[in-house]
Amino acid sequence: MASATLERPVATSKQDTPESANGARQQSGWKRPVGKLNGPRTQLEWHDGLIEQSSKLRAPDLRNHIASSVTDLVGWTPTVMLNKVTAGLPGRVAVKMECLNPFSSVKDRTALALIEDLERQGKLIPGGENQPLEMTSGNTGIGLAWVAAAKGYKLTCTMPSAYSDERKALLLALGTDLHLTDKLDGPAGMLARASELEEENPHLMMTRQFEAAANVRVHYQQTGPEIWSQSQGRVDFLVATAGTGGTITGAGTFLKEQKPGVEVVAVEPLEGAYWTTGCGGPHPVQGVSPGLDVPTLDRSLFDEVLTAPSAEAMQMCHRLAREEGMFVGPSSGLAIHGAIQLASRPENEGKLVVVIAPSFGERYLSSPPWAQFMEEARKLPTKLLTEEEKPKAMAVMQQFIDKTKPLPPLENIDVNAAAAVASNVADTSPLKSGE
């Protein structure tokens, strides 16, 4: 499917967003005034008018084939409706499960695009001396680490020490040369250390996730078209948080080209509400920018910015796990909290809100919102059998073994019936025709 042409002039005006006299954060967020922009357009040359669809826009039936590499599994993540947490709301919410990429993050797309872009430029060559380098809050680094491993590179990255132990362990397990920086130094500390490493070793090639056109382009060529296809063109809102901004910029641009009425809504934590107050700062939602304007983020696309306290984002993660069976990270909880705000409005009756869930919850077991359950798990009591109970327990076990039936021989399995099931997959989409 070819994309429409987009003229993208560069604006030089300052951000047009409200800020209270005392700089206090406002939970109400920000909505685009008629005819005005939320901040400057990006000057990054990622969109050159009519872009050919990427060869990496993989067919949705890849599950019926054997992939040649784990990199072929990136993309075409499922989109699923929320049910219990949205019961009774006027609008509907569908979650784009980016946490179901190979290494459980939307950044798998970004990482593969960044590495392949450097390969196209000849800066990285499998088996060559040059190796990738990046500063990361975790998920991009993990994506780059596994892509590098699959392609025969060794990643070097810098990361704040405050991020979860699971992220650090994954990076080390994938062979990464990991350099931690002080959490109080924020992005500046990561960048400074990465710059030092780049100067020390001329064979380290910075992937530059915050300024690389490939970061935005991959979501224009993949994530946006996937949402359009999976929603059958019925998407009315795209909701996402932003780290580098590549996802919301690329996917948002594509969807607005297909359907100009689509509204792009960003969500940020109240404690670091940079876009709505101009007063960004530290917050506990990992993976969400503490307040940066970077080339890969185009805030002129935003129709609205919503805010929510970080505690409510964490509570939403808990609700999703126990009511929907979704185990997601804190930025997903924040984004879905915002999507539910939109779906709650009477004027959005029957409208479809598609929200990005960037990462899987297992990556955050040692940090909010899941650390409390790790502590509970450590304190669970253990039942020990007494000497009097052991003979009875062994007898029960023997009865279980005696009753276990062997598997039927293969010749008794109806292979034709199994093949018929595989070739006749029913359409179970909740988006019925005419809706």
**What's the pLDDT tens digit per position in 303-332?**
999 988 888 988 999 999 999 999 998 889
Query: DSSP assignment of 12-32, as one string?
Result: -PPP-----TT----TT-EEP
**184 burial level (CB within 10 Å; 0-12, 13-18, 19+):** exposed
The radius of gyration of the chain from alpha carbons, rounded to an integer in Å, stands at 24
Q: Which of 37-51, 126-140, 335-349, 367-381 has the lowest mean pLDDT?
A: 37-51
Residue at 151 is within a domain = yes
Residue at 280 is within a domain = no
CA distance 430 to 435: 10
- What does DSSP say about strands 92-97 and 131-135: parallel, antiparallel, or unpaired? unpaired
- Catalytically annotated residues: 107, 331
Q: What is the CATH number of the domain that holds 163?
A: 3.40.50.1100
pLDDT confidence band for 425 (50 / 70 / 90): low
Residue at 141 is within a domain = yes
pLDDT confidence band for 2 (50 / 70 / 90): very low
pLDDT confidence band for 46 (50 / 70 / 90): low
Residue at 419 is within a domain = no
CA distance 334 to 95: 12
Residue at 59 is within a domain = no
CA distance 103 to 163: 17
Residue at 99 is within a domain = no
Q: What is the mean pLDDT of the chain?
A: 82
Query: Where is pLDDT greater, at 185 or 55?
Result: 185
Q: How many domains does the chain have?
A: 1
pLDDT tops 70 at residue 156:
yes
Name 209's Cβ contacts closer than 8 Å, sequence gap at least 6.
Answer: 110, 114, 134, 136, 140, 215, 244, 246, 296
One-letter amino acid identity for 20?
Answer: S
CA distances from 169 to 41, 97, 101, 172, 189 (A): 38, 23, 19, 5, 21
Residue at 424 is within a domain = no
- What per-residue confidence (pLDDT) applies to 257? 95
Angle at 382 between CA 378 and CA 385, to 5 degrees: 165
- What per-residue confidence (pLDDT) applies to 431? 74
- What per-residue confidence (pLDDT) applies to 53? 42
Is pTM beyond 0.75? Reply is: yes
Mean pLDDT of 67-96: 95
- What per-residue confidence (pLDDT) applies to 50? 36
- Domain boundaries, position 111: 107-206
**What's the pLDDT tens digit per position in 99-112?**
999 999 999 999 99
Strand, coil or helix: 137: coil
Nearest to 263 by CA among 38, 9, 54: 38
In the chain, the percentage of residues whose pLDDT exceeds 90 is 53
CA distance 364 to 388: 42
pLDDT tops 90 at residue 353:
yes
- What per-residue confidence (pLDDT) applies to 31? 63
Mean pLDDT of 93-97: 98
Joined together, the tokens standing for residue 242 give: 């932003």
**What's the pLDDT tens digit per position in 248-261?**
999 999 999 999 99
- Hey, which residues does 302 pair with through a beta bridge? 264
